[in-house]
Amino acid sequence: MTGLVVIRDGEVKLRVGKGNIHADGTVWLPTVKGNGPLINSSAAGFDRAVIEPLLRAGKYDQIPTNLYARLGANEGGLVVMYAEEYDRERRAEAKAHLDAHPEIRERQEITALFEHGHHINDEWGDDADTGEGFRLIAEAERRLAAWREKYPEAAREERAENLIAKAEHEESIAKGALTFDADGWLSSKDQQKRYDEHMAKAADLRKQAEEVRQDK
């Protein structure tokens, strides 16, 4: 048995830690009745009303074998890969992306430095008399300032994304304002007022984000 990843149209639909590949390349996965074939619902001739009862009954020999998914590319955009191979490809893609965008790699390193420093301070508290956590945070702040000067476009996009995140938070609060009445303490008029206030903040934040992106 081996780990498998099932992908349809580029999106991971299923990941299993244990799967079997038969000699004919068909994929079999653990089920409540033992191992059963992975069925490609996009294959020609698939009829859910017919196939699903056969699967539930474990009558796999009555299912046309052209509907069995196989390792590799299948009809209808279905792909089955070994999990190890899939992970290796994703790591290679991630590395290639970072190699092409050094600003992202450097920003990740700065974030890790901040997190490490805060972790030390949170873990040791007043006992952190070595000052190592504060030293790391100060170093991260220095590197962040340099990063913003070195990559102004990336810095603007980061700021815009932060503003968008704040806007989405305000919008979430606004939606909650219409459904949560604090045990009846708020009137519908008060709820609408809170909704409008938070939506106005969200709109202003989105406007700021757009202005940041246009500030070349």
Tens digits of residue pLDDT in 143-189: 999 999 999 999 999 999 999 999 999 999 998 877 765 555 667 88
Please state, in angstroms and rounded to a whole number, the distance separating the CA atoms of residues 1 and 17: 8
Q: What is the pLDDT of residue 125?
A: 66
Q: Is the pTM of this model over 0.85?
A: no
Two tokens at 61?
């020999």
Q: What is the pLDDT of residue 16?
A: 94
* 10 φ/ψ sector (left φ>0, alpha ψ -120 to 50, else beta): left
pLDDT band of 70, cuts 50, 70, 90 = very high
Between the two ends of the chain, the Cα-to-Cα distance in Å is 55
Two tokens at 129?
């008399």
Q: 25-64, pLDDT tens digit by residue?
A: 999 998 877 789 999 999 999 999 999 999 999 999 999 9
Q: Are 42 and 76 in contact (CB under 8 A)?
A: yes
Average pLDDT, the chain: 91
Please state, in angstroms and rounded to a whole number, the distance separating the CA atoms of residues 212 and 203: 14
Two tokens at 163?
């503003």
Only one residue has tokens 């805060």, namely 118
Two tokens at 82?
């070994």
Strands (E) located in the chain? 2-8, 11-21, 27-31, 34-37, 72-74, 78-82
Query: Could you give the C-alpha distances from 68 to 27, 44, 54, in angstroms and in order?
Result: 7, 11, 13
Please give the full DSSP string across 113-159, using - where no structure is assigned. HHHHHHHHHHHHGGG-TT-HHHHHHHHHHHHHHHHHHH-HHHHHHHH
Q: Are 117 and 136 in contact (CB under 8 A)?
A: yes
